[in-house]
Amino acid sequence: MDLDLRQVRYVVTLADELHFGRAASRLTIAQQTLSSQIRALERRLGVPLFTRDRRHVALTPAGETFAERGRRLLIDAERLVDEVTQTRAPLRIDVVTEGLPSTLLIHHLRTQAPDLQVEVVQSHGLAAALPRLLTGDLDLAFGRPHGFGRPLAAALATMPVGLEPIGIIVPADHPLADQDEVPLTALADHPLLVHAADESAEWRDWVDHAVATFGLDVATRLRGHGRTSALTAVQALRHPAFSLTTPQLPDGLTARPLTNPVPLYAWHAVWNTTTTAHPALNRALELIHTYARTHHWHQPPNADWWLPNPDRDTLRTEPPQVR
């Protein structure tokens, strides 16, 4: 039988979401259309790909096989068109959001590999990038591979990139601003502002680990995208917030490092090993790994430091190879 690539894309998207409404939204089609197309394909195949009831959608064994091979098929089809038309799709890289060290890597890639076309995406959290990695819509993403309530899909590989010290941002006249360094335990007397996008489950999980480990309190939790939105919230509500301390801050705010111990945020490169990899992916990973090692991004500070236990368990020093 001939396969309709459109129906293959429908199955792969539904396999990622396991929810007809969300899958139909991603595909920009009606939910009824998605359901009817899936059923039509199942009738042609003679096997069910999904089990569903009013509350749950799940893959059957045949569906798992179809979705895994279907992802490869869609990427192969895209690469075929690129080769025939003598075009090459750019390497699509998700840097999470502005102002993070991952954006420095884009400049490095463009400097060291000027022939490499790079398309930069900001998903505001690895949780939002994972489905796109699985479908091949993204080639590479950055983030903390923990905090999603389940392990990463077996198709995804990770490579440690950096151990980023986390400090606090406070108003310039806040009591903590008088200290050059703030002991982490001192935050117990100053309830925190937690600002996170819905897509950044991994950041919220890191904060929750820190709060539970050091007996901290949360004054309020806000949703929002980007560093600018977070800084505006600190200015307005006047609570300290966990943050990187290196980027430039607007007037009225200041950053202070945290010590005893220094809290670290371990972030990784993440990519899909089961789809046909972009021809430049290996090259990009090697450049990223070399840059991180040269600039000692993997090196913890020469002081007491802290990582959540899941991060300690997954730290590695050598990058896996792209298949």
Minimal CA–CA distance to 61: which of 48, 70, 42? Answer: 48
Among 263, 281, 312, the domain-final residue is 263
CATH of residue 241's domain is 3.40.190.10
In a domain, residue 27? The reply is yes
Dist. CA 187–CA 241, nearest whole Å = 10
233 and 149 part of one domain: no
Dist. CA 291–CA 198, nearest whole Å = 31
Tens digits of per-residue pLDDT, 251-264?
A: 999 999 999 999 99
Q: What percentage of the chain has pLDDT greater than the value 70? A: 94
Q: What is the pLDDT of residue 136?
A: 81
CATH of residue 21's domain is 1.10.10.10
- Contact in structure between 234 and 193 (CB atoms under 8 Å): yes
Minimal CA–CA distance to 154: which of 127, 135, 134? Answer: 134
Tens digits of per-residue pLDDT, 102-139?
A: 999 999 999 998 888 899 988 889 988 998 888 788 89
184 and 238 part of one domain: yes
In a domain, residue 200? The reply is yes
CATH of residue 133's domain is 3.40.190
In a domain, residue 279? The reply is yes
Statement: the pTM of the whole predicted model exceeds 0.75: no
179 and 257 part of one domain: yes
Structure tokens at 40: 């039509």
203 and 289 part of one domain: no
Q: Provide the residue range defining the domain that includes 116.
A: 91-159+272-294
In a domain, residue 226? The reply is yes
Counting the structural domains of the chain, the total is 3
